[in-house]
Amino acid sequence: MIMSIILTMVGLMAFAWHTGNRKEILSSPVVVPIKKDSIASVKAFEKVYRVLMSPRCMNCHPSGDIPLQGDDSHLHEMFPKRGKDGKGLFAMKCGSCHQPSNTPGKHSPPGNPEWHLPPADMKMVFQGKTAAELAKQLIDPKQNGNKSMKQLLAHSEDGLVRWGWQPGEGRTLPPMSHAEFKKAWETWLNNGAYAPKSKP
Amino acid sequence: MINLTINQKPYSIDADPEMPLLWALRDLIGLTGTKYGCGVAQCGACVVHLNGEAVRSCVTKVSRAAGQKIVTIEGLSKNNDHPLQLAWNEISVPQCGYCHSGQLMSAAVLLRENPNPTDQDIDNAMAGNICRCGTYPRIRKAIHLAAELQKKEREAK
């Protein structure tokens, strides 16, 4: 009798917990795919995180308002500032030096037609974020540039993202190929976009 | 042939589209006010305006400038009377002067976008323009003076 009461209580608590989670997911503007595999998702995000925290990605997702530079992610020489739209300030706009394509030679400005930081009202910081924090941030439209799940999936093919694998002379590549990254990115998202557990 | 509009005048040049704009300005067109400093967008001596924005002409390819409006130091004003030029003259800002066409072109973008800049705004705008003579205090002072001159000029109109 006591055992059956305990089991019933555990069952009710589990239902309540599950319902609570579902409510949280349903209230999110991001459409979460039906297929869910938290193990595959979290495992894929480990790869995604390694790429996003590499200098080619993180340098333009700084915690401050000055971009980072180089494989050691030091503050950008000349201290250009983010500006409201992420494209710099006054005579120090990104496009002042960064051209539509990489300028040849070591220590020359890398380039892309869309070169910019995230805007001031949504900084999309990578620097200093744990895997758990970054995963949650990436799927939150209030923190990811208002991107839907569909837009997030497409983002791995964004021109500026792809630039990371064509960064010009003297810059190391992300720790895996773009194809491998894209596969991990899609696996993470398509399996429920689970965040790794936060470390205590 | 590549068509450029420089200081409101049309030019047609026979150049490799990959040629730095600075080369075209100085060697093909003869506008030598814009200076070569580092060649890798690190010093600011070569700043010109491309459709009103400051760009470093040493790394800006002619192809990017084709069909666009370029302004060099020679075209900043008709009679060397831009408020910045007047202020530079009043305060005797330059020492050797080599970097100052770039300094002025950068400062002109600042004053257009922010007619009353603070010291911090000036730092934000000018941090990419290096002066080997260290005329930075005078540059800052002159930009403040130019802001006043610009304000008076506008009030007088």
Does the pLDDT of residue A16 top 50, yes or no?
A: no
10-residue mean pLDDT profile of chain B (157 residues): values are 97 97 98 97 98 98 97 97 98 98 98 98 97 98 98 92
pLDDT of residue A34: 60
Residue A122 and residue A84 in contact, taking contact as beta carbons nearer than 8 Å: no
* Average pLDDT, integer, range A28-33: 54
* Average pLDDT, integer, range A11-30: 41
* Average pLDDT, integer, range A69-95: 97
B56 to chain A, minimum CA–CA distance in Å? 6
Which residue's structure tokens are 């495992």? Answer: A43
Does the pLDDT of residue A27 top 70, yes or no?
A: no
Domain residue limits, chain A:
1-30, 34-190
The verdict on a CB contact (< 8 Å) between A90 and B105 is: no
- Cα distances from B87 to residues A97, B99, B139, B149, in angstroms, run 27, 16, 9, 8
Q: To the nearest whole percent, how much of chain A has pLDDT over 70?
A: 82
Of B41, B113, B121, the CB nearest to A97: B41
User: What's the CATH code, domain B2-75?
Assistant: 3.10.20.30
Q: Interior CA angle at B25 toward B4 and B70, to 5°?
A: 45
Task: Categorize the per-residue pLDDT at A30 as very low, low, confident or very high, splitting at 50, 70 and 90.
Answer: low
Task: Categorize the per-residue pLDDT at A31 as very low, low, confident or very high, splitting at 50, 70 and 90.
Answer: low
* Average pLDDT, integer, range A113-121: 97
- Give the number of beta-carbon pairs within 8 Å between A and B: 69
The amino acid at residue A125 is V
Choose among A198, A186, A160: nearest CA to A40: A186
Domain residue limits, chain B:
2-75, 83-156
Does the pLDDT of residue A198 top 90, yes or no?
A: no
Does the pLDDT of residue A25 top 70, yes or no?
A: no
Does the pLDDT of residue A41 top 50, yes or no?
A: yes
Does the pLDDT of residue A21 top 50, yes or no?
A: no
CA A167 – CA A173 distance, rounded (Å): 7
SS (H, E, C) A3-29: HHHHHHHHHHHHHHHHHHHHHHHHHCC
Q: Higher model confidence: residue A23 or residue B116?
A: B116
* Average pLDDT, integer, range A3-13: 45
Residue A170, chain B, CB below 8 Å: the answer is: no
Residue A95, chain B, CB below 8 Å: the answer is: yes
B138 Cβ partners below 8 Å, 6+ apart? Answer: B91, B92, B93
- Give the three-class secondary structure for B11: strand
Does the pLDDT of residue A35 top 90, yes or no?
A: no
pTM of the complete model: 0.87
* Average pLDDT, integer, range A147-170: 96
A66 to chain B, minimum CA–CA distance in Å? 11
Quick: pLDDT tens for A50-70: 999 999 999 999 999 999 999
User: What's the CATH code, domain B83-156?
Assistant: 1.10.150.120
Q: What is the largest CA-CA distance in chain A?
A: 79
pLDDT of residue A17: 38
Burial (CB count within 10 angstroms: exposed 0-12, middle 13-18, buried 19+), residue B78 = exposed
Quick: pLDDT tens for A106-115: 889 999 999 9
Beta strand extents in A15-158 (DSSP E only): 68-69, 74-75, 88-89, 92-93
Please name the residue of chain A whose CA is at the shortest distance from the CA of residue B40: A108
Task: Categorize the per-residue pLDDT at A87 as very low, low, confident or very high, splitting at 50, 70 and 90.
Answer: very high
CA B103 – CA B31 distance, rounded (Å): 17
Residue A93 and residue A138 in contact, taking contact as beta carbons nearer than 8 Å: no
CA A47 – CA A52 distance, rounded (Å): 9
B75 to chain A, minimum CA–CA distance in Å? 17
